[in-house]
Amino acid sequence: MNANQVQGLGLNMLNRFAQSDWPDRLGVRKPIEKLLYTGTRTGFQLAGAAARQFGKSSGRLDQKQRLPAATKGIFDLSLTEEQQMMRDTLQRFARDVLRPAAAHADHEALFPADVRAQALELGLNFYAVPEALGGMAAEQSVVTNVLMAEDLGYGDFTLGAALLAPMGVANALTRWGSKAQQEKYLPTFAEESPPLATLAVSEARPAFNPNELATRAMRQGDGFVLNGEKSLVLLAREAELLLVAAELDGKPAVFIVEGGSTGLSFQEDPGMGLRAAETLKMRLENVRAEKLGDDDFDYQAFLDLGALMWCALAVGTCQSVLDYAIQYANDRIAFGEPISHRQSVAFMIADMAIEIDAMRLLIWNAASLAEAGKPFHREAYLARLLTAEKSMKIGSDGVQVLGGHGFTKEFPMERWYRDLRAVAVMHSGLHA
């Protein structure tokens, strides 16, 4: 399939979605077969995904693929026609599919199978895979990726994060994978049934620093073995491919682990937020792995790109908080007038809008620099610092505007508040 055919397939998927009535198809619970357990529910006894058979290196590439820097000017706020079309589609998807499904998914702590099936028709993975391997990517598209995250976050923070995790793995393989790794794994992301993939960096340690990892990698023969534990791994039980951060020779690195590998075990790791992403602890005991990439791998950029995606998701969710708070404040009558007429409420909502725009501009600036191949660590750090602080405040203020209603599960504000707190603790799981 050539690039034009792939692009035509992607556009056809978008058109089919736009003409569909997805809300009528909501309400299907996730098949019980997805919940396979071995042993008890305590300890690292949960069964992971069965091993997917990835083909060997296909020899399709003359050399490893590296997408060129974007030719668009740095911090150009205008959107291309393709970006605008993508945003229109994702905003409909967020509004019509993610938003209605979010409350039930959070309550059940399960990612809805029907949402995943509908999301596959959007063909998001095509944007991460180079044209030579069946995708649509012709240049670095960090800005496009953060726009995707923002729009999905507007529908639901957790469901958006879970949908973006496989795309994040494909992005990392495209940016840093060796020729053999790209030939082996990337074509599967452009297939009708792409692998469910995720990233594992965080560890359950006080004041965790992603540059100081307790998970260790050791050389063994022509490969590596990993030992350690990871926490808050999105959709870990079903993952067919994982990128795992571990220390090698005193420095952090990232390793490719296939689902179903011997030595992988899981334990439930429920949190106050991200419930529908089915986060788990993952234990690695002499798990065979392959080091991601060659000498050009940049671990700090790996972390920074992941941070930008979390920040973009948070901005989308904060926009939901703002829009909901405005509507509620205008509709809620107290002492004969809408509560939006009170200065304390009006100023709180105005502060939300200012902080959201500030976060958005910092994120877009950092993404624009990254896309152009420029240094962006400082800008990504500032974006994460501001977003981690202000998104939690916006979530809290949203609950405050609703008063007692904001404390109940009848309204979505308490869920958004819980999810937004994840921005400060998640160090990867996504990748732009």
Residue among 423, 415, 386, 388 nearest 399 (CA): 415
pLDDT reported for residue 3: 40
pLDDT band per the 50, 70, 90 thresholds, residue 261: very high
**Other beta carbons within 10 Å of 227:** 16
By CB neighbour count within 10 A (0-12 exposed, 13-18 middle, 19+ buried), where does 333 fall? Answer: exposed
Q: Which CATH class is domain 299-424?
A: mainly alpha
Show me where the domains of the chain are located: 3-35+51-69+79-200, 299-424
State mean pLDDT over 359-379. Answer: 95
62 bridge partner residues: none
- The percentage of the chain sitting over the pLDDT mark of 70, rounded to a whole number, equals 83
pLDDT score recorded for residue 341: 93
pLDDT surpasses 80 at 222: yes
| The two structure tokens encoding residue 319 | 């926009």
Q: Calculate mean pLDDT across residues 25-44.
A: 41
Quick one: CATH architecture of 3-35+51-69+79-200? Orthogonal Bundle (1.10)
Q: What was the pLDDT predicted at 194?
A: 93
From residue 276, give the alpha-carbon distance in Å to each of 15, 280, 316. 28, 11, 17
pTM of the model: 0.84
> Any residues with CB less than 8 A from the CB of 271 and at least 6 apart, and which?
232, 279, 422
Alpha carbon distances (Å) from 283 to 194, 214, 239, 248: 25, 12, 14, 17
- Summarised one tens digit per residue, pLDDT across range 64-85 is 776 776 666 566 778 888 889 9
pLDDT mean over 406-420: 96
Q: 201 near 428, Cβ under 8 Å?
A: yes
Contacts of 340 (CB under 8 A, 6+ apart): 326, 329, 330, 346, 349
Looking at residue 67, the DSSP 8-state letter turns out to be: P
